Amino acid sequence: MDNERIYQLLQEKMKQLNRYLIRLGANRNDAEDIVQETIYKGILYIESIDPEKFSAWLYKVALNRYYDLCRKKKRIEVPIESVIIEEAEIPEDLLIQKEIREEIEHVLDQLTPIHKQLLILKYELDLTYKEIASLLDIKEGLVKTYLFRARKQFQKVYWRDKKYE
């Protein structure tokens, strides 16, 4: 593989990691720092990492670094204003999309961390069950089971909140 191709793959992976960390609640600066540290570690240890598991390894390193940062700060920030709303032409559409995004964020914040993580990996990052299983180092069947439970928990919290509005 030539250097240009490797550079392009790393750039794409950096964007995915950054988006993933922001969806988990990291602010943009922290996400960029974590991604840079993760890629640096990946380059340092590239010889000892199985090429087929390199992507999963990067996600794990980034996730662990994010959790370390959260423990250090003792809080998780969800920057709703940083969410980009696409394809909206009318101000009313923008407002409705922002309200929907805020509702989703509110519900996600009430889920267990693993359920929140799984929903983001599947529905925000569009990863396959196989990719999620590799990333989390669990069997594909467990990913399906956990995602089923995550969707059920999301629905339960969503409808409970709607009931009390």
Ordered by start, the domain boundaries in the chain are: 1-82, 86-165
> pLDDT for 110-153, tens place per residue?
888 889 888 888 888 778 898 888 888 889 999 999 999 999 99
The CATH label, of 3.30.300, 1.25.40, 2.40.50, 1.10.1740, for the domain at 1-82 is 1.10.1740
Given 3-state DSSP classes, what are the helix, strand and coil percentages for the chain, each rounded to the nearest 5? 80, 0, 20
Record the pTM: 0.57
Say which CATH class 86-165 falls into: mainly alpha
Q: Cβ(127)–Cβ(121) under 8 Å?
A: yes
> pLDDT for 59-72, tens place per residue?
888 888 888 887 77
